[in-house]
Structure 1
Amino acid sequence: MQVAIASGKGGVGKSTITASLLYFLKDRYKLIAVDADAEAPNLGLLLGVEEWEEEREHIGAKVAKINTETCVRCGICYERCPYESIYIDEDGNYIVNELTCEGCNVCGLVCPVPGTITLEQARSGVIRKATTKYGFPIISAQLDVGRPESGKLVTEEKEWAKKLMDELNLEHMIVDSAAGIGCQVIASIGGADLTILIAEPTPASLSDVQRAYKVVQHFRQPAYLIINKADLNPGFTALREWAEAEGIPVIGEVPYDRAIPKSMAMLKPVVEAFPDSPASKALKEIAERIAEEILG
C-alpha cells in the first residue's frame, strides 16, 4: 500500500509522528519512506541518515538568458517582466536573475531582436536515496532555491520508490507530505491508497486540515485522523465534531509531551529516545491500530 501523511498546516507534528510510526512498523512490514517535503526535507534527520548513497539531478525548470552581444538595450524586457527578474548591471547590460525568473518567456516575446532572449533548461533540485539506521530505505528531495516544479520532484521521488519496492520486494510506502495543499501535497496524495491526516485542536489547524481533506476527496481516497497535542486545548471540540460529521475515523490522540522536542534535538524518534513517555505510549497504540485496521 501507499500511505500519505498530510496535515494542511505546518508545525502540527507530521514528520515527528511519521518517524515514530515508521519506527514501530519497520519490524512488522518491509517499508520504504518518502520525504515529500522538497522545500524543507527533514525526515531523514530523524531516521539517522548521515549521508546519501545516490543522488539524481532533476532538470526541468526553464530560465531566460539574454545575449548581451545582440541586445540593443531597449529596455522593453526590463519593463514587461511580470516578476521583475531583469536588472541592469554596472556595464549597462540587461541581465536575468535566475533565482526569480519563472521561465514565462514574456521577455522573449516582447524582445524586438529575434534570438536575443532564449529559454534554457535549469536544475530544479536533486532526488536522493539512503538507507536509514533502522534498515529500511528512504527517498528524499531538495528543491533548489527559487526553482519551481516541487510537485514534479515529489512525483519522481515516488516513481523511484515504486521501482525500489519491486526490486526489494517491499510492502508499503509511507509518504510524509509537505504542509499546505500545493503541488507537493497534491503529488503526495495522488496515487496513494489512503491518507492519514494530522491535526491539533486549534481553529487554524482545523481550517487547514479541512482544506487538505478536500484534496483527499478529489482523489476519492479514504482518510483517517490523528489528533496531536490533543490535551493542548481541551475545550475545543470542533475538530472531533468535524471528523465525525465527515465520517473520518480518529485512530488516536497524542498528548502534548516535552519529550518530543528533546528527542528532536537528539535526532531520534521520540518512541526510541523516550519509549515510556506519554506521547510514545500513545504512538505505539496508534501504530498497532494502523497495523491491524489499515495495513492488515
Structure 2
Amino acid sequence: MQIAIASGKGGVGKSTITASLLYFLKDDYRLVAVDADAEAPNLGLLLGVREWEEEREHVGAKVARISTESCIRCGICMERCPYDSIYIDDDGNYVVNELTCEGCNVCGLVCPVPGTISLEEARSGVIRRATTKYGFPIISAQLDVGRPESGKLVTEEKEWAKRLMEEQGLEHMVVDSAAGIGCQVIASLGGADVAILIAEPTPASLSDVQRVYKVVQHFREPAYLIINKADINPGFTALREWAESEGIPVLGEVPYDRAIPRSMAMLKPFVEAFPDSKAAEAMRDIAERVKAEILK
C-alpha cells in the first residue's frame, strides 16, 4: 500500500506526524519512507539519517546558452526574456542567469542569428537513499537552487521506492508530501492508495486542507484526517464540521505539546524522545487506528 500524507499548508506538523507514525509502524510492517518535499527535505533528520548511502543526479531541466562568438549584441533576447534572465556582463557579452532561466526558449526564437542561442540540459537536483536508524529505507531528494521539475524528482523518488519494495519484499510506502498543492504534491498523491491529511484548527489550515482535498478527490483516493495542535483554538469547530460533511474519518487529535519542539531539537520522533507525553499517547492511538482501518 502507498500512503500519502499531505496538509496543503506548511507548519502544521506533517513531517513530525509522519516520523512518529513510521516509528509506530516499523515493528509490524516492512516499510519504505519517501520524503517528497524536494525543496526542503527534513524527514531524514527526524529518522536519524546522518549520511546518504547512494545518490543519483536528476538531469532534466533546460537552460539557455548564448554563444559569444556568433552573438551580434542586438539585445533582442534580453528585451523579450519573460523572466529577466539575460544580462550584460563586464565584457559586454549577453549572458544567461541559470538560476532564473526556465528554459522556455523565447530568446532562441527571437534571436536573428540562427544557432547563437541553444537549450542545454542542466541538473535539476539529486535523489538519494539511506537506511534509517530504525532499519527501514528512506528515499529523499534535494532540488537545486532555481531549478524546476520538483514534481519529476518526486516521481523518480517513488519509482525508486517501488523498486526497493520489489527487491526487498517491502509492504508499504509512506510518502511525506510537500506543503501546498503544486507539482510535488500532485506527484505525491498520484498513485497513492490512501491520503492522510494533517490540519490544525485554524481558518488558514482549514482553507489549505480543503484545497489539497480537492486534489485527493481528483485521484479518487480515500482520505483520513489527523488534527494536530488540536487544543490551540478550542472554539474553532469548522475543521471537524468540514470533515464530517465530507465524510472524512478523523483518525485522532494530537494536542499541542512542548515535547514536540524539544524532540525536533534532539532529531528524534517525539514518540521516541518523550513516550509518556500527551502528544505521544494520542499518536499511539492514531497509529493503532491506522493499523486497524488502513493497513488491515
Aligned partner letter, 1:284: R
Counterpart in the other structure of 1:28: 28
TM-score normalized by the length of structure 2: 1.00
Q: Distance in 2 between matches of 1:285 and 1:119?
A: 53
Q: Deviations over 1:3-27 (max 9, x none)?
A: 0000000000000000000000000
Aligned partner letter, 2:45: L
Counterpart in the other structure of 1:153: 153
Q: Alignment partner of 1:128: what SS?
A: strand
Q: How does 1:85-164 map to 2 (within 5 A)?
A: 85-164=85-164
For the pair 1:79 / 2:114, whether they are aligned, the reply is no
Deviation of the 1:42 alpha carbon: 0.2
Counterpart in the other structure of 2:182: 182
RMSD of aligned residue pairs (Cα, Å) = 0.3
Q: Distance in 1 between matches of 2:293 and 2:147?
A: 40
Q: Alignment partner of 1:51: what SS?
A: coil
Deviation of the 1:228 alpha carbon: 0.2
Deviation of the 1:106 alpha carbon: 0.2
Q: Alignment partner of 1:291: what SS?
A: helix
Counterpart in the other structure of 1:218: 218
Aligned partner letter, 1:223: A
Q: How does 1:195-210 map to 2 (within 5 A)?
A: 195-210=195-210
Q: Deviations over 1:35-93 (max 9, x none)?
A: 00000000000000000000000000000000001100000001000000000001110
Aligned partner letter, 1:2: Q
Q: Distance in 2 between matches of 1:90 and 1:37?
A: 38
Q: Distance in 2 between matches of 1:234 and 1:181?
A: 27
Deviation of the 1:139 alpha carbon: 0.1
Q: Distance in 1 between matches of 2:147 and 2:95?
A: 18
Counterpart in the other structure of 1:295: 295
Q: Distance in 2 between matches of 1:89 and 1:239?
A: 54
Q: Distance in 1 between matches of 2:240 and 2:269?
A: 27
Aligned partner letter, 2:47: L
Q: Distance in 2 between matches of 1:130 and 1:294?
A: 26
Counterpart in the other structure of 1:41: 41
Q: Distance in 1 between matches of 2:192 and 2:293?
A: 17
TM-score normalized by the length of structure 1: 1.00
Structure 1 regions of 5+ residues with no counterpart?
none
For the pair 1:248 / 2:240, whether they are aligned, the reply is no
